[in-house]
Amino acid sequence: MTNKMWGGRFKSGPAAIMQEINASISFDKRLYRQDIAGSKAHAAMLAQQGIISKSDAAEIKRGLDQVQVEIENNRFTFSEALEDIHMNVEQRLKGIIGVSAGRLHTARSRNDQVATDFRLYIRDMVDHLDGQLRDLQVALAEKALAHAKTIMPGFTHMQVAQPVTFGHHCLAYVEMLARDRSRLKDARVRMNESPLGAAALAGTSFPIDRAMTAKALGFDRPMRNSMDAVADRDFVLELLSTAAICATHLSRLAEEIVIWSTAQFHFVKLSDKFTTGSSIMPQKRNADAAELVRAKPGRILGALTSLLVIIKGLPLTYSKDMQEDKEPAFDAIDNLSLAIAATAGMVRDLEPDRDVMRRAAATGFSTATDLADWLVRTLSLPFRDAHHITGSIVALAEKQNCDLPDLKLMDMQKIEPRITKDVYKVLTVEASVNSRASFGGTAPSNVTREARRWLKLLQ
């Protein structure tokens, strides 16, 4: 049989495989809240404009309320034969209120309906992800405040570079996440325009009020071009682009947690809540949560690439290809949300080992730059000369198999006679981090102030 919702043109029903490839209800049913909200706004507007009667609009609202209750209480039967969430809702509405349900689709197409539903859903997900990222920022800022004085090695090229504080390291990710939230905020502004009323692609001959439905659905305004309204998927691409960047940030932190929790580093410890064991090696404690977060950017970036490829060759306006926009978007959003939640849990759970971190920070001649700076300040040497002298002193320490604070003064004076015993005041890791008080530096006073500032902003 043909689909009664659209099949008047057709004499027979679709082949079984056609029905299977055509149906989207298996995944777009998650749009039911947005679909019902859009339909309520549309019906109210139709009544206000005198296009349908107020009694029909009231019946439609009553029926839609019942449909939503049925879905939320798992009493709704979704039908693949009805293809998508829009027709499933409308068919059930007809079963509840009768012929009045057929008036709901006046001055509307599934093209502007799905564009509206999806835009509403993506907007909701932006708000959801923003809240999660805020919570992760709080977790990191709280950890930063607690460890403003906890010294650890800072790395470049995965080699010990200079001493930093663990709190400063945490705040670096707070900054990254702030940029992610800023991108979400920017995307939300651009996406907050309503496609509803664009109909199939050309608008409608009915005297609708698109500003009314836009306001009812929380949009800033209606989209100005009906063709763009049904064809646009920039709002999804922007979210997926931001999601890919954000997931990459989470992956970097996850990679560090994996490294830090190894026996070779032992910088941090994760509890049983965020680790797993081995089926054969009883001693193992694997940072599987961090490893899975590290893997998530692959599928999230894949979703972005998938949608870009789907959209790139489509002429205006709507093509069925665009049905393929939802599954990758849903998957990316779900996995980013899960990764953020897992990362926040790990950040709150992990405990740094202060002694191990401090010892590691004191290796690898990490205060060599402090020595060079001392030569500049005290002896008025050009930095390049100080750099050369310091390099020679490092080579000497390496030859003697000791670190810079363990070198004898007379040995350093053989390289630069004007060095005095005061140099030892700058060669400790504590002196090094305390001296980095420039704006944005790792000094504990900076970290404490910045962590408190962030916590206040995030309240």
Indicate which residues carry an active-site annotation: 157, 278
Parallel, antiparallel, or unpaired: how do β-strands 193-194 and 221-222 relate?
parallel
Write out the two tokens for 195.
Answer: 């496609």
Write out the two tokens for 145.
Answer: 């405040």
The contacts of residue 414 (CB under 8 Å, 6+ apart) are: none
Instruction: Spell 281-315 as b/e; 16+ CB within 10 A means b.
Output: eeeebebebbeebbebbebbbebbebbeebbeeee
Task: Answer whether 198's CB lies under 8 Å from 115's CB.
Answer: yes
- Give dist(CA 415, CA 188) in Å, integer: 61
- The C-alpha R_g of the chain, in whole angstroms, comes to 31
Phi-psi region of 197 (alpha: psi -120 to 50; beta: other; left: phi over 0): left
Task: Answer whether 152's CB lies under 8 Å from 267's CB.
Answer: yes
456's enclosing H/E stretch is: helix 444-457
Task: Answer whether 247's CB lies under 8 Å from 177's CB.
Answer: no
What's the helix, strand, coil split of the chain in %, to 5? 70, 5, 25
DSSP output for 143-191:
HHHHTTT-EEEEEETTEEEEEEEHHHHHHHHHHHHHHHHHHHHHHHHHH
- Give dist(CA 165, CA 151) in Å, integer: 4
**Residue from 307, 305, 302 nearest 324 by CA:** 307
Question: How close are the terminal C-alpha atoms of the chain, in Å?
Answer: 58
